[in-house]
Structure 1
């Protein structure tokens, strides 16, 4: 009896040690420098990470701890954000001007984060100034743990595809244009993984496939403002994942992808072995611009790609309807496991009562002769003291005011206020956010720290009666949403991640000139259960530099 008890105790201790063991760590050291790149065929200054453009991959597994030591060797401040990585309880390293002090030239900072209960396709990029226009971005691939089944067979390989519009002007010149009160206007072209190609050009293959095998393409639109459509000549695509959610596996000939969005498709090499074009073209511009890349078969015997390209989708009003219909075809796979064993559909979001509705209307105007973009009449401006640090140190009243923007747009939409735009949010409230676009250009939005359910997109104006058209069963859980011209989009989310989180236009000119806000999600208790403490060696700047540290958060 005593031996049995001792054996049971050993087993119990082993089980407990397995439970409390830390998740694996991955370590990265990045040097961010300028370098010469030629995306559109002529040399210009780009931003490289460890000499690479696009930058190095973070290839990890759900729950991994990620440590990235970033050395800023530029001549200007730098911050990197991790688009779509939720960073539970840890907005301290979100990488936005409202949450962190920038990494100054000649210094370094170590980001410490965890991809907690996440899978999917994401990317990182610089948020300071217009640096995103010069590169500095790269892939984050988060895989499921071995014990979590994935709803498709393992592909032969995975390929990351970064689509971006491109400006031949350098990022510093673009910033000066915006600072002077003007728009940076239309880009000069579009690139795939930093290269522009034309039909008939001698192009090295982007990727190589073997006949009969299936491959996963992780595709992200990391551009400044341009929605795109992408398609493979002669091959269909099976959509399997979108911004961290497994989707119903519909088959598409082409897919629209809007700024800041990522998805995964499976492509099977089941055609004649030769070269094929991957085609990317702009959407919703009067004059289309495009680029191509070569996808090669390993045993293609040098047979070149056919110059006949697959057609682009319809344009103008019909094109918007086509794109909206494609959005409606995206569905959450309710039987697939997510980052946890429970099915994605176990969270019945459609049965939760809405506690707050925020209706956001974007606008373009001129303030003192300079171009500004706003949400509900407020154009956000950054502060020398990050908003999150001001709040944590108890001096928020010296830096910003809460709730200067209303939950609905003002009746007189002409007046624009320039100020830090911070919305005081109630922890764990279930919130409905409606984006209404009165402009003639498409918009895209991203929310840091959270995913939301994209329940509807329609033309026209939103009203409460439109809720009857919401998808309350299997809308995809994601972190970005597009809003078509003269249309609206609705999302639902639980603000259950304590911290200061950025809701922004992903069209970077608009974000830079004010089309963004921050949700202050405060826990009622300063508890480690809800939010991490300010990390040791966190950079301090502005009014909080040199201040005494506040009392740390208490235990659980």
Structure 2
């Protein structure tokens, strides 16, 4: 690949770092990306979109378990930029997480080389821009991590493998939406739905051959709405959710909440013609719908008949579907033994964290909060402040581990957690909207969800046998969702709402998974190419 001079120097440093921490046995994959603005027309009007190597959406990342990904990103925008990796755990190295609390932005006209290792991971994920409101302009793309050849996969190789990025979309440019939020207003209802960057006009098309089976990796990369995905006259067999092989349940349609990713198998077993692929909003009084096409290679005609309808607005159907998604206990994961040395249901939790969302006004402007704290970004990334012992940037414990019942206030919220703790987190939703939460750096077991109040007695209904392990979970209106997570990844990790206006206006915090150890066994050294900014500017990274 044709790296520029700055990139070549950065990659050399990166290679030395990686060789030092991982050895030379795991393969390297190199990516050279140029991030630019460009005209896009997803809903038929010209917009200023964010392109990666001229593409909207951006290029897919194809990798295999344990690969080292060296991604050189050159920022040709007129403002700082960051990419984050939704679901890629990047073990022991939160410096590269690509969110404002861990990583300095890439200045305009400069590059940065991300160092990622998809250690002990498989599955379907995506990347996206995390700063400002760039996510509303594009800059996202799919990530697929294939199993190593010696590890069996619980289904035959499909005839094809497609990335399907779905999401709500606005005709307004991202700068207009950001200004709207900065003025203290709520985000309006979106203008449409996209499938791989296309609306209904000139919609996305996927080619299949009659009798063959295909894998679709579906990710909701939108800003705020849960979406239902379905294919006219075709069934979908769910096989993987964010890195976990699932029981192979067949569905007519699938709810994909914001930030979530699913893999389904679809067999082209119908008469040879074109069929609607349909995506529509869920739990909204006004339903937005867009369509693509499943095109048979020997098609006898274009799509016909009415667009197939989706489920009703009630949540019971979606809740029951969510509960039906279970781990395939007979399947291997990244390693031959998917359970490792213990089973999550046999381990006692050491701490319970209860998180409740809220919305309200602070100083006359709309804000969102967790446990009454609405997050405000400091002038220095939290991870750098932690590493360099810079005082005054954040306080561990600045957010309570239980709802306070008080009004919303602003703070740089960081919750302290012990390395190797096994934690129960309960998300409470007392609002009349569905919500979606993501934890960077981790997968967690979704052990329970239900309507009404959560109490300790709710644990009697937990699934302690085959709950699905994933990195993003939904919380239904006036409901709760409980997860178990083993805090085995040292670092500063973002826990956030995946509703991007809520995240932008404070519904997030950072989990500081801490140990007194300075061993490379527990956390890798700060990468030599780490950008330093804020009060960390001018400091020196320690030698390898």
Q: TM-score, normalised by structure 2?
A: 0.94
What is the aligned partner in structure 1 of residue 328 from structure 2? 333
What is the aligned partner in structure 2 of residue 250 from structure 1? 249
Does the aligned pair in 2 maintain the 1:190–1:196 contact within 8 Å? yes
What is the aligned partner in structure 2 of residue 545 from structure 1? 537
Q: Residues 275, 548 of structure 1: CA spacing in aligned structure 2 closer, same or farther, 3 A cutoff?
A: closer
What is the aligned partner in structure 2 of residue 274 from structure 1? 273
Residues of 1 paired with 2:402 and 2:491: CA distance? 23
What is the aligned partner in structure 1 of residue 27 from structure 2? 24
Does the aligned pair in 2 maintain the 1:335–1:345 contact within 8 Å? no
Alignment of 1:91-490 (within 5 A): 91-197=94-200, 203=202, 206-301=205-300, 303-315=301-313, 319-344=314-339, 347-395=342-390, 397-411=391-405, 413=406, 415-490=407-482
Residues of 1 paired with 2:341 and 2:332: CA distance? 10
User: What displacement does 1:184 show?
Assistant: 1.5
Q: Residues 205, 535 of structure 1: CA spacing in aligned structure 2 closer, same or farther, 3 A cutoff?
A: closer
List per-residue Cα deviations over 1:4-44 (Å, max 9, x = no partner): xxxxxxxxxxxxxxx96421100000000001111111111
User: What displacement does 1:307 show?
Assistant: 2.9
Does the aligned pair in 2 maintain the 1:378–1:417 contact within 8 Å? yes
What is the aligned partner in structure 2 of residue 9 from structure 1? none
Residues of 1 paired with 2:247 and 2:170: CA distance? 36
Does the aligned pair in 1 maintain the 2:205–2:293 contact within 8 Å? yes
Residues of 2 paired with 1:343 and 1:95: CA distance? 28
Q: Residues 548, 24 of structure 1: CA spacing in aligned structure 2 closer, same or farther, 3 A cutoff?
A: closer
Residues of 1 paired with 2:527 and 2:520: CA distance? 12
Q: Classify the secondary structure of the residue corresponding to 2:376.
A: coil
User: What displacement does 1:343 show?
Assistant: 3.3
Residues of 2 paired with 1:478 and 1:65: CA distance? 22
Q: Residues 246, 344 of structure 1: CA spacing in aligned structure 2 closer, same or farther, 3 A cutoff?
A: farther
User: What displacement does 1:552 show?
Assistant: 6.2
Q: Which has the larger radius of gyration?
A: 1
Q: List runs of 5+ in structure 1 lacking aligned partners.
A: 1-18
Does the aligned pair in 1 maintain the 2:401–2:415 contact within 8 Å? no
- The structure 1 segments of at least 4 consecutive aligned residues displaced by more than 4 Å after TM superposition are none
List per-residue Cα deviations over 1:349-386 (Å, max 9, x = no partner): 01111111010000001000001000001000111200
Residues of 1 paired with 2:535 and 2:126: CA distance? 32
Does the aligned pair in 2 maintain the 1:445–1:480 contact within 8 Å? yes
Residues of 1 paired with 2:501 and 2:511: CA distance? 21
What is the aligned partner in structure 1 of residue 16 from structure 2? none
User: What displacement does 1:324 show?
Assistant: 0.4
Does the aligned pair in 2 maintain the 1:454–1:492 contact within 8 Å? yes
The correspondence for 1:47, drawn from 46, 50, 60, is: 50
Residues of 2 paired with 1:501 and 1:115: CA distance? 17
User: What displacement does 1:342 show?
Assistant: 0.9
Q: Classify the secondary structure of the residue corresponding to 2:395.
A: coil
Residues of 2 paired with 1:323 and 1:63: CA distance? 34
Q: TM-score, normalised by structure 1?
A: 0.92
User: What displacement does 1:402 show?
Assistant: 1.2
User: What displacement does 1:522 show?
Assistant: 1.6
Q: List runs of 5+ in structure 2 lacking aligned partners.
A: 1-21
Residues of 1 paired with 2:324 and 2:150: CA distance? 30
User: What displacement does 1:546 show?
Assistant: 1.0
Residues of 2 paired with 1:490 and 1:374: CA distance? 19
